[in-house]
Chain A
Amino acid sequence: MNENLFTSFTTPTMMGLPIVVLIIMFPSILFPSPSRLINNRLVSLQQWLVQLTSKQMLAIHSHKGQTWALMLMSLILFIGSTNLLGLLPHSFTPTTQLSMNLGMAIPLWAGTVVTGFRYKTKASLAHFLPQGTPIPLIPMLVIIETISLFIQPVALAVRLTANITAGHLFMHLIGGAALALTNISASIALITFIILILLTILEFTVALIQAYVFTLLVSLYLHDNT
Chain B
Amino acid sequence: MGLLHALKDTTNRIGFFCKIEILVGPETDAQFHFTGIKKYYKSYTLTGRMNCVLVTYRGIALIVIYFKLRSKTTPAVKATQMDFKVYLIF
Contacts and interface: CB of A to CB of B under 8 A. Distances in A.
Interface of A: 122-123, 125-126, 128-135, 138-139, 142-143
Nearest to B47: A122
Interface of B: 27, 43-44, 46-47, 49-50, 52-54, 56-57, 59-60
Contacts of A138: 43, 52, 56
Contacts of A130: 43
Q: Binding site of A, secondary structure by majority: helix, strand, loop or mixed?
A: helix
A166 B43 CA distance: 43
A142 B50 CA distance: 10
A62 to B, nearest CB: 15
Given A129-B43, A133-B43, A122 B52 contact: no
B43 A122 contact: no
30 contacts: A122-B47, A123-B46, A125-B49, A125-B50, A125-B53, A126-B46, A126-B50, A126-B53, A128-B49, A129-B43, A129-B49, A129-B52, A130-B43, A131-B44, A131-B49, A132-B43, A132-B44, A133-B43, A134-B43, A135-B43, A138-B43, A138-B56, A139-B56, A139-B59, A142-B52, A142-B53, A142-B56, A142-B57, A143-B56, A143-B60
